[in-house]
Structure 1
Amino acid sequence: MNEQPSKTNKPWYRRGTVRALAPLSVVAVIAGGAALAPSLASATPSLPAVSAQQLLAKVASSKVDAFSGTMSLSTDLGLPQLPDLSGTANPFSLLSGTHTLQVAANGPDQQRIALLDQLSEYDLIHNGTKFWTYDSETNTVEEGTTAAHAGTKAEKSAKSGANKQYPELTPQAAAQQLLTNLSPTTQVSVGTPRTVAGHSAYLLVLTPKQSGSLIGQAEISVDSATGTPLGVTIYPVGSSTPLFDLSFSSVSLTAPSASRFEFTAPKGATVTPFGSNEKGTGTSAKGQPTEQSLNPEVLGTSWLSIAELHNVNLAQLQQAVSGAGSSVTSGSNNSPNSDGGSSQLTGGAVSGYLNSLLGGGANVSGKFGSGKVFTTNVISVLITNDGRVFLGAVTPKVLEADANAQGSK
């Protein structure tokens, strides 16, 4: 991982699009892409037989919290082909295709993770009581301390996120979320061993017993020596193509150098306090919804869990889309290999793509009122006319039933 990142995208860990990725695996289990290249998971090692319960215990007893490596993230949410974004990191690229991340951790107090693209990089660094984010596309830094972030709901969230055992968006964190929410509605079994990032690994398979879920099964690759999760893959019902695949392509299960967690703002970078762009009203500086204003709630149980968001409507989403398209245009102008014309085409393509999605959907009505439902083979979304959004890895029938149970506002 570069100590001084060069060029990057908008903060991936706070984007609605990116934050929706992990929830898809997690929504399925809270519930509880494209295929990996052969180099990430190949060969069949000879390992002693274990039962599902023994493998669960092995993962639970794993003590590895210091590691570093490179990960591959693949997503396939069943959406139409994204427009060509010229290799520049942006909020929409993570909705499909394969992306590279680098990670380093030494316990819960030293963590670093970076999202890499051809022309960009975004870093989140946590070292003791201090943490930073660096966006190379805008050459901006946000900094804070865990002691200073202990008041508001958003600040408590930032503090708890910085102190988790594993960095967000790693196989360990994804597996932890899956296994924490196991229930009798999940069949647990052991699959064929595999080799992941040069490590022999057992395969733990989680299969939902409930009908109405769009998730066919989840697989966790577990290091045979340490019990550390090395990869998590989620498959839709009836498909061999993952909707979510996060696996190490290379990894060292030893403590990284302390210098990996040091950070100095690059020359000329704009440095601001963490979260200073969020107002007390719960809306961002651009007027777009935040987690606080959306007030998310979890409905349903196990594999049929869904999320309910508030204070959202189609007009608001379309306005956000237009703003996002503009940000891609302006951000692309910073690219050394871009020109203004191609940047404007890219921004227009993204805006047009999402406007097309929001313009589709089927009109529905019920006890929740009226609205539109959108669905792919891995996710369903209901946007009501009274400003709520229901979404989850469930069929539209399940989604509408939960919305009916909530009634109208």
Structure 2
Amino acid sequence: MAEKNDTVRSVAIGIWVKTGSRNERNAENGMSHFIEHMLFKGTKTRSPQDIAEAFDRIGGQVNAFTAKEYTCYYAKVLDEHAHIAVDVLQDMFFHSVFDEQEIEREKNVVLEEIRMVEDTPDDLVHELLSEASFGSSTLANPILGTEETLASFTREQILAYMDKFYVGEHVVISVAGHYQEELLSQLEDIFSAVKAAKASYEPPEASFIPVQKYRQKETEQAHLCLAYPGLEVGSDQMFNLILLNNALGGSMSSRLFQEIREEQGLCYSVFSYHSAYEKIGSVTVYAGTQMNQLQQLSKSMSSIVEQVQADGLTKKELENGKEQLKGSIMLGLESTSSRMSRNGKNELLLKKHQSLDELLNRINDISLEEVNHLAATLFQDEPALSIVSVSDHMPETIFTK
């Protein structure tokens, strides 16, 4: 997928692979993320330092990330250096050696990353929320894996996993910015070498099965998350949910921010967001406060959600949300990285793209009745709940509905 912009001097290039923690068996949990790390640890002709210096030398940026359902390796460089970025990225993708010593060294790096999440309660509470929302499905598993699974990884397992998922139908190349047509020909020639899949693959089924999860940690604040069912990726109601979330807790003018932070002064950080996956999704509400205010906080959060579920949004909230959403989309188009990311995800997950005019028209056509019907549907049941606090037990009087 390529989108040209002759008014800029940068090029963003992304390799998107349709595999993440949801695709892993329980014993493989963390494999996708570990492979992401290992692709930076040396190829047949480049050391890890060579890879880093290749981009530093040209003033470029290179990085990667792993999500529940996909992994992305990306670079952003000046247009005159695009061919160098492609050469290094393809070398990492096709010719990483997975040296045994590097594997063992990188296991320790990822272990520290896992421990960092454990030491960051506002991250940990979201990890717990996945467990509280999706039960025993692999969608509940942490992207980083666990100490136990990480320790078990072998070079043979890594290569077998890549052989299964790093295949033609699971790989998308996305380019955005100022590039020459020769770059696309170069990419096409290089990535035509990606192997075809041996068999079709469907991610494991997942259901929203809300429970409560609690973790004791030495922390100054109690951290609380609620999760409600959301929408699957590609849903025709996705813009409705974005507008709903924006009014609930996705902006500084949202109800959660204005009522809980500004009016009640209960917390510094409070927000909501939605996560869309294949055939399932969730809406999350988060806030952190001191332990003696947790009860009041939970009641306020639940009360606001109940009010939205019962009465819906106001016309003003809907119109403000539409303008914010349109502004976000159009401002994002000014970044080659944002364009590359949007196009890559659309191609990988949806196999379709909409023009800017189509997007704006769809947003303008959303009615208050549509959004309020969605709110009444999504928020009608008990939420999943997770808490991280200094207490050694779940508060008996925690109020969630």
TM-score by length of 2: 0.24
Structure ranking higher on relative contact order (CA contacts 8 Å, 6+ apart): 2
Of Structure 1 and Structure 2, the greater helix share is in: 2
TM-score by length of 1: 0.24
Instruction: Report the structure number with the largest CA radius of gyration.
Output: 2
